[in-house]
């Protein structure tokens, strides 16, 4: 037998002559992005450079005031830190909760699979705001959870859950758990069970098999899950607003109030863009590090 090179699948061989027409498919999406992402982002960029001494009533002059960035970040550095801290904790806990859940749904749920998937996305049938509001009731000082924890002496008698960092992070975790679970599930569901058998056959204990086969194969889901959780969580303000106090406020709260209450557009734009930029940098570093560019 002569294994010839032609036997190998030549992956670089793509039907090049079709490429020109393929681009046409991108046009609607590109136009959409142009109008509703790129254009507003550029607007935001200009807005962030307005003279900070202007006001909504008197108008803002364009003075290319790059100093806005330094000022804003200096003034709100604690909010940046807190936002990323809360988002980081949220992502980590979501991962720890969602992985076993997604694993169970993918491998162990049998005929209950669809039911369980529907249950995972069931919260989406209610609005984000309403769900967070109902967490207010659940965690209320006179509510059942607080009462239970006080009875167990886990919380002191005058302790509370609502309006604490715990409540804010718990709300974030709850709200973003499906965003972690679904991509993980999608990845795990694609893992061929026979590969796990093969790992066992090749001297891997169940744990080693998980570490060497299942986990690496679920990396695309893990990476997209963490991104889908971390990115929106770091910009969220509803949870801090409804479940926290000013001491738990995140960057989103400041942006919200700058835009919608103070109408301090340059500040709001500066903060929005800074957050966006920081998140993008973090995401790039993260994807580089996890080395899953090909898989994502």
202 is an interface residue for another protein by CB under 8 A: yes
Shorter beta-carbon distance to another protein: residue 153 or 246: 246
Contact between 251 and 77 under an 8 Å Cβ cutoff? The reply is no
165 is an interface residue for another protein by CB under 8 A: no
Distance CA 277, CA 80 (A): 12
Token pair for residue 84? 């990323």
Site size for another protein (CB under 8 A) = 79
Shortest Å distance, C-beta 81 to another protein? 12
Q: Which of residues 80-139 bind another protein (CB under 8 A)?
A: 82, 136-137
Applying CB under 8 A, the span of 43-51, 96-104, 176-184, 225-233 interacting with another protein comes to 43-51
Residue 252 φ then ψ, to 5° = -55, -35
25 is an interface residue for another protein by CB under 8 A: no
User: Cβ contacts of residue 154 below 8 Å, gap of 6+?
Assistant: none
Nearest to 225 by CA among 131, 277, 290, 294: 290
9 is an interface residue for another protein by CB under 8 A: yes
235 is an interface residue for another protein by CB under 8 A: no
Other Cβ atoms within 10 Å of 193 Cβ, number: 10
Shorter beta-carbon distance to another protein: residue 166 or 295: 295
The residue from 115, 122, 129, 195 that contacts another protein (CB under 8 A) is: 195
Nearest to 242 by CA among 174, 157, 179, 180: 174
Other Cβ atoms within 10 Å of 96 Cβ, number: 12
The residue from 88, 123, 200, 232 that contacts another protein (CB under 8 A) is: 200
12 is an interface residue for another protein by CB under 8 A: yes
184 is an interface residue for another protein by CB under 8 A: no
66 is an interface residue for another protein by CB under 8 A: no
Burial of 292 (0-12, 13-18, 19+ CB in 10 A): middle
Taking the alpha carbons at both ends of the chain, their separation in whole angstroms is 38
276 is an interface residue for another protein by CB under 8 A: no
Shorter beta-carbon distance to another protein: residue 178 or 221: 221
One character per residue 252-271, x = contact with another protein (rule: CB under 8 A): -xx--xxxxxxxxx------
62 is an interface residue for another protein by CB under 8 A: yes
Burial of 200 (0-12, 13-18, 19+ CB in 10 A): middle
The residue from 16, 22, 29, 59 that contacts another protein (CB under 8 A) is: 59
């Amino acid at each position: 037998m002569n294994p010839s090179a032609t036997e190998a699948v030549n992956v670089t061989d793509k039907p090049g002559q079709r490429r020109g027409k393929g681009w046409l498919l991108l046009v609607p999406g590109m136009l959409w992005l142009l109008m509703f992402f790129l254009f507003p982002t550029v607007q935001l960029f200009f807005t962030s450079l307005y003279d900070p001494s202007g006001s909504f009533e008197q108008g803002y002059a364009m003075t290319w005031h790059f100093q806005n960035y330094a000022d804003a970040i200096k003034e709100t550095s604690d909010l940046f830190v807190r936002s990323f801290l809360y988002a980081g904790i949220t992502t980590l806990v979501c991962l720890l909760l969602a992985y076993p859940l997604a694993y169970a749904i993918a491998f162990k749920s049998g005929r209950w699979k669809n039911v369980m998937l529907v249950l995972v996305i069931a919260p989406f049938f209610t609005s984000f705001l309403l769900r967070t509001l109902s967490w207010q009731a659940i965690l209320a000082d006179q509510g059942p959870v607080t009462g239970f924890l006080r009875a167990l002496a886990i919380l002191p008698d005058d302790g509370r859950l609502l309006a604490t960092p715990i409540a804010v992070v718990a709300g974030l975790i709850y709200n973003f758990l499906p965003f972690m679970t679904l991509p993980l599930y999608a990845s795990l569901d694609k893992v061929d069970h026979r590969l796990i058998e093969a790992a066992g056959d090749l001297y891997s204990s169940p744990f080693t098999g998980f570490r060497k086969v299942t986990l690496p194969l679920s990396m695309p889901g893990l990476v997209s899950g963490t991104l889908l959780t971390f990115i929106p969580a770091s910009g969220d303000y509803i949870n801090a607003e409804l479940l926290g106090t000013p001491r738990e406020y995140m960057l989103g709260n400041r942006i919200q109030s700058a835009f919608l209450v103070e109408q301090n557009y340059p500040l709001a734009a500066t903060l929005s863009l800074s957050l966006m930029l920081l998140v993008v940098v973090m995401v790039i570093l993260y994807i580089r590090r996890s080395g899953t560019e090909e898989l994502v």
